[in-house]
Chain A
């Protein structure tokens, strides 16, 4: 079983619509959680950290469920520029602050 699992998609989303997807992680010692965005042939860029209480950044909302070991990302009012691969990332500080990446969820926003 992969340490961090994501639905690869693609999620085809009409412009203006809402899309949400999850990520599950297997290591209960995971301490920090992030969503990164990666555009084709580019490096990942941090989208947002994910906190236990849930957090929002503009049109993006992230939730963490430690009991069920999953993280979610919701994008409201999707823009064409939101088309990208979204990477779920967990950090186990006890393992030397290493990040473990999920396989990514591809989102395609269409007019």
Chain B
């Protein structure tokens, strides 16, 4: 149980385009979803926290107008990288927590590798 999927697993796009990444909880209701970014040889950095039906809370230094997060249902959150540039190339990982016994553990998706040319 507690499986999180991400789509796509990798994407290559041209500079200036927008890319949408989906994060889904497959077998539980995700009350909170987290979006992370990981650059090569660095650790995961939290970008934002989103609760279903609410606006996302962004970490300091993360542009909310560039990284649009939507958490419209208890099983789906999306991250849209708008007007992507090469410096946005990174590994984007989502995680989710549920209710009850699933509250204290974050379950990670497999990640999406974004390359902006």
Contact = CB atoms under 8 A, between A and B. Distances in A.
Interface of A: 32, 41-46, 87, 91, 96-104
A99 B97 CA distance: 12
Query: Which secondary structure dominates chain B's binding surface?
Result: strand
A101 B44 contact: yes
B61 to A, nearest CB: 15
B110 interface: yes
- The size class of the interface chain B forms with chain A is 20 to 34
A102 B42 CA distance: 9
Contacts of A104: 43
B105 interface: yes
Given A44-B44, A97-B32, A32 B49 contact: no
Contact of B108 (A32, A43, A97, A102): A43
